[in-house]
Amino acid sequence: MTPDAVVPASGGPVTGGQGAGGLVAGGPVAGGPGGRDIWWTRRAVLAHVALVIWVPGCAVAAWWQVGIALGGDSLGWVYSVMWPCFAVFGTIFWWFLVHDDPDTLGARGLRRQLEAGLEPAELGAQARAGCGNAGHASIPDGGGDLLGANESEEEDPELAAYNAYLAQLAGKEKSWRAR
């Protein structure tokens, strides 16, 4: 292993990809530790097709709006700037669709970690420690609280009063006339 090689949480060096030491922000790299090529997954190919349609479409729309603006409609200048911005937004969206691994992020990633036998408190500790998908936390700070890990704690009296108030409101007839 070279001195500049980056060692991920899985233990082995990251190979391939782009950027310093083969790291790609936001997910696995081509030929990386996961052993799959991110550029040719079904999700990536669909994203490529969408990008190939989206960016030229935005360019055509921008050119059309420049023609409208040169014809005297000053609002066309605004739209002629907006369409290239939409193309940039689509390119950024494409990048994240290709590089984010749905198996380690979001609800699916959390479900897989729970199936692996990790307790909610361990998941929160891993997320805070930066384990997971290239710096993306699988769950937010204090994520164990979201899963009911702190049920044994005493309930706050103010919170209990507020919950009782909400329950009372939920029991009332729902009509704009009932005031």
Q: Decide: helix, strand or coil at residue 17.
A: coil
**Residue 173 scores a pLDDT above 80:** no
pLDDT tens for each residue of 109-123 = 788 878 887 765 565
Average pLDDT of every residue of the chain:
73
What is the per-residue pLDDT for 82?
97
Residue-level pLDDT at 36: 62
Torsion of CA 113, 115, 117, 123, to 10 degrees: 30
The DSSP secondary-structure symbol of 10 reads T
- Residue among 93, 1, 107, 105 nearest 50 (CA): 93
The predicted pLDDT at position 104 comes to 77
pLDDT tens readout for residues 124-133: 556 555 544 4
Q: Are 137 and 131 in contact (CB under 8 A)?
A: no
- Percentage of the chain exceeding pLDDT 70: 58
Q: Each residue of 32-87: pLDDT tens digit?
A: 555 568 888 888 999 999 999 999 999 999 999 999 999 999 999 999 999 999 99
Outline where the chain has alpha helix (H): 42-70, 75-99, 106-115, 120-129, 143-146, 157-171
- What is each CA distance from 60 to 36, 40, 72, 136, 138, in whole angstroms? 36, 28, 19, 36, 39
Half-sphere exposure of 60 (CA within 13 A, CB side): 6
